[in-house]
Chains A and B, each alone.
Chain A
Amino acid sequence: MTTGNCGCAGGQNTCGGNKGKDNFVLSDAERHDIEHAMEHYEDPRAASIDALKTVQASRGWVSDGAIDAIAAVLGIPASDVDGVATFYNRIYRKPVGRHVISVCDSIGCFLTGYEDVKSELQKQLGIEYGRTTADGRFTLLPICCLGNCDKGPALMIDDDTHGPVAPADVAKLLEQYK
């Protein structure tokens, strides 16, 4: 991707010279966060996970254009950034809903009955794992042990950990996330 040397302000997109795939342009705040993270390490590459998380925090997911833009800031090949993005399960390379529900399916929650909670979620949302509701509100994913096994079954919605969750709690829980 070409970084704009046309003199236009990055975020304004007047000339399009620094726009990447899917018209992606890093915001000043995103670029600042990524450059700040780079200072923490010996080598800019180390900030690739921070950078992916920065973009995901503001956009919900990481597009092809975002991969190119991050690669340009870090000065590493886009294929390396994508290799990292696709390795880690908490980086989303496809659009997700406004809220991501991650259901712990590890042994502790298995023993305390997570499968009933998962079924109730699937019933109420009308989706399988890996899918997003038609209104774009929720994405449902499995996740491994959340370190909340003493309060299982456990799940995360966005950054909040909940547990123990019973099937009867599901409707009320979902209401908190509009």
Chain B
Amino acid sequence: MSHHVLYSGKTGETHPLTFRIRDDRQPVWLAEYEAQDGYAALRKALKEMDPAAVQATVKDSNLRGRGGAGFPTGVKWSLIPMGPDAGKKYLVCNADEMEPGTFKDRLLMENLPHQLVEAMILSAYAIQAYRGYIFLRGEYVVAAERLNKAIAEAKAAGYIGKNVLGTGWDFELYVHTGAGRYICGEETALINSLEGRRANPRAKPPFPQIAGAWGKPTIVNNVESLSNVPHIILRGAEWFKGLSQGKSPDGGTKLYGISGRTRRTGVWELPIGTSAREIFEEHGGGMQDGLSLKCWLPGGASTDFLLPEHLDLAMDFDTIMKAGSRMGTGLIMAVDNRQNMVSVVRNLEEFFARESCGWCTPCRDGLPWTVKVLRAIEKGEGKPGDIEFLQKMTRDLWIGKTFCAHAPGAMEPLQSAIKFFRDEFQQGIPSQIPATAVN
């Protein structure tokens, strides 16, 4: 089996997102970043391209959002009002990374803070935002320090502030740190949180592109999505599309990863569309001794389980969707054969129940009820009809029945666990209720 060196020996040509990461994992500061083409994309864009040209290049690249939903970034940008009458606009980076199983944005921010800072400035130029915010989860203390230092360096170098690189365009960039709650990652809840409110989601429409932060047009993008932008501008849309090596119609590389009881765990930058098997076997090294793979979550707690037989699928948005799940964040969670699926799902639903923002009734009441039933089944005290009840939940908390995608996300692992492992749920439900228990 080939053993991949994690970061050394990479080039910007093949591993744009991670080639600058140092082997000693010290952050790359301005001088070193600039020596490796850092801020070259920003200089190029501000000198040679108008905002429309930057937007068009990103659209042509087929970059799809890496925050989980896979929405084409260029299309999102094209929905924001442009021109002299568009008024104040905002660019917000979603760095809330709290989807259980996900640890990719942390890697980018801790190691390459300038890559995200350059990406923010360049993307803000494309949509003509006058301010940018990096909405960072509060627990990422190291990332916060490094991003703030990188912003100060960029400001001193004239990349941020009044009249950026002599273009007449003014831009300020701030790090906003959160104080917990998974729901802050939902983009409209994130905007409420940024405004200093409780992080309840907002109704859509209007979409943030029209009325977002402080009612002004706002683009929200994930850390990894944005980090691709300077590379697309520097090397072109065709190069970016080619990075997938024909494995996917989507463009670029993807930060894939694996956790659970595999031999190796971590994050690797690979062509988008790389098979789950390659990630699991070649990079993760398969399961630890004595264990085998029972099932896996393709990209976070809110994605449907898949089976070992699905490992040959390409990890891209459309392929995983066709198989009945979602690629989500692309960081695989490997579940080993010693796990009981009722316990696994109980743990997942406890997370979703605790993190419900409480705004809409199906989610606020339905998730704790789901947990209660799962706990009973786990203890072998389930009642006939409990599985059917859980299945009813997966319909009643589905898309369109709740105010945001939190509750439907919670139902994805539940519905697929019942689909593939119904017998394990059945085992927690005594077929005959003892006469004494009936009152």
Contacts and interface: CB of A to CB of B under 8 A. Distances in A.
A43 to B, nearest CB: 6
A145 B180 CA distance: 11
A116 to B, nearest CB: 14
Contacts of B331: 149
Given A148-B103, A149-B259, A107 B139 contact: no
A68 interface: no
B347 interface: yes
A8 B54 CA distance: 57
A26 interface: no
Contacts of A46: 194-196
Contacts of A112: 259-261
Contact of A149 (B140, B182, B265): B265
Nearest to B144: A159
Nearest to A81: B196
Interface string B247-267: 000000000011111000111
Report which residue of A90, A110, A156 has the largest number of chain B beta carbons within 10 angstroms of its beta carbon: A110
B25 interface: no
Contacts of A107: 100-101, 297, 301, 333, 344, 347-348, 351
Interface in B257-301: 257-261, 265-267, 297, 301
Contact of B138 (A41, A90, A108): A90
Interface string B110-139: 000000000000000000000000000111
Contacts of B333: 107-108, 111, 149
A149 B103 contact: yes
Given A105-B347, A111-B335, A147-B103, A87 B261 contact: no
Interface residues of A, number: 41
Contacts of A45: 195-197
Interface stretch (A10-18, A47-55, A117-125, A132-140): A47-55
A22 interface: no
B421 interface: no
Nearest to A45: B196
A106 B100 contact: yes
A161 to B, nearest CB: 7
Interface stretch (B57-65, B170-178, B367-375, B378-386): B170-178
B409 to A, nearest CB: 13
Interface in B162-203: 174, 176-182, 193-199
A40 interface: yes
A88 B197 CA distance: 10
Contacts of A48: 196
Nearest to A159: B141
A169 interface: no
A47 B196 contact: yes
A130 interface: no
A147 B139 contact: yes
A145 B104 CA distance: 13
Contacts of A74: 196
B195 A43 contact: yes
Interface in B24-43: none
B214 interface: yes
Nearest to A51: B196
Contact of B344 (A89, A105, A110, A143): A110
A107 B195 CA distance: 31
B182 A111 contact: no
B99 interface: yes
A64 B149 CA distance: 34
B355 interface: yes
A42 interface: yes
B178 A88 contact: yes
A142 to B, nearest CB: 8
A84 B197 contact: yes
A72 interface: no
A161 B142 CA distance: 10
A146 B139 contact: yes
Contact of A53 (B179, B194, B257, B350): B179
A174 to B, nearest CB: 20
Contact of A144 (B138, B193, B266, B351): B351
A60 interface: no
Cβ-closest 3 pairs across A and B: A88-B179, A106-B100, A90-B180
29 contacts: A42-B213, A43-B214, A46-B194, A49-B179, A49-B193, A49-B196, A50-B176, A50-B177, A53-B138, A87-B199, A89-B181, A90-B139, A91-B180, A105-B347, A105-B350, A106-B100, A106-B347, A107-B301, A108-B101, A111-B333, A112-B260, A145-B301, A147-B98, A148-B106, A149-B102, A150-B259, A150-B265, A156-B139, A159-B141
Given A53-B179, A144-B354, A149-B331, 16 more contacts: A40-B176, A41-B196, A42-B213, A45-B195, A48-B196, A87-B198, A105-B351, A106-B351, A107-B101, A107-B333, A108-B101, A108-B259, A111-B334, A112-B261, A144-B351, A145-B301
